[in-house]
Structure 1
Amino acid sequence: MESNKDYTQIPGWGIDANPEDEPNYPMKNYTGDDHKRSNWERPAQQVQTVEILKSNERPALSAVFGTASPPTGLSGMIRRHAFKYSESSYGHWLPMLLADRINVVEGIIEDLAEGIIPNLFAEHGMKSELKFNKAGLAKKVLVRAAILGVVVLCLTRKKKRKSFF
């Protein structure tokens, strides 16, 4: 494999080959350091104090990472499952979306368990919705009320059926 091929004839390739041809060159005090990054030293590894989920496409943890909300509960189980798949697959991202939604419900349950009543009206931006998007807010409320009505109807019908047997 040749490494000395000239790619400058391909539109867009090799645009960073000339340091004086950078878009910010005249405005920036150019030191040449931008083109000497091959010898950088990896930062010290952050100490892992909680479970960190990492992509199966990375050989090791990033040098630094967030530890604010480690995976817990049902959403954590779903996240652990999702990280078994490549980040380019639906097997990774769809479970991650589901885990996010479940994590919201887990947070509400956790707040209630601690005696904190969540202000869902404020936390969901309903004040702004009421001010700037009244039609959208009305649609959301009606759709959620319809879903809740169907769920309640289904649950009450099951109870009535069970009483006959």
Structure 2
Amino acid sequence: MNRSHEHIPGWGVDLDRRDRPAVPMERKPPRLQGVHWDEPVPQQSNVEVLTSTEHMRRPPVYGTSVPPRGLSGRIRRRAFRHSENDLRHWLMLLFADRVDAVESAVGDGARSPQVRTATSLGIAVAAVWILGRLTR
């Protein structure tokens, strides 16, 4: 079955480079001269930093503003026992974020009566809104 496809418009355009519309842009970029990379000095940390099971070492710079603490920290430590490819890892981290939000609201409420009033008012408004949505 040796058929000729020359009657099809555009057939074989990849055979001749002059017929390819992208040829002028198909250039290898020039190598950058004198580019070098020195690995930065690793960051020192005085707080616990959770690391993935997939990576052999920490990156040179990472965030330490919110170290794991309380129940949310325990959930995060459990999450980092699982691979990043595992859905449990991410769901546990999402759940830990929600637990941390509740822990923070409770902690703020225990320290300040104004925050306690605002928090309880916010919870009441959210409850009324949810109940209103459910009864429609």
SS at structure 2 position matched to 1:75: helix
Note if 1:18 corresponds to 2:28: yes
Larger radius of gyration: 2
Structure 1 unpaired stretches of 5+: 1-14, 21-30, 124-136, 148-165
Moved runs in structure 1, 4+ residues, more than 6 A? none
Change (3 A) 1:67 1:16: farther
Structure 2 unpaired stretches of 5+: 1-24
The whole-number CA distance in structure 2 between the counterparts of 1:105 and 1:52 is 22
The whole-number CA distance in structure 1 between the counterparts of 2:111 and 2:132 is 27
Query: TM-score with structure 2 length normalisation?
Result: 0.63
What's 1:117 paired with? 115
What's 1:93 paired with? 90
Change (3 A) 1:48 1:143: same
What's 1:143 paired with? 130
What's 1:78 paired with? 75
Number of residue pairs the alignment of both structures matches: 105
**Structure number with higher relative contact order (C-alpha < 8 Å, ≥ 6 residues apart):** 2
What's 1:7 paired with? none
| Paired AA for residue 129 in structure 2 | L
**Cα displacement (A) at 1:112:** 1.3
| Paired AA for residue 54 in structure 2 | E
Query: TM-score with structure 1 length normalisation?
Result: 0.53
Q: Using the aligned pairs only, state the percent identity.
A: 37
Structural RMSD (CA): 3.5
The whole-number CA distance in structure 2 between the counterparts of 1:144 and 1:43 is 54
What's 2:63 paired with? 66
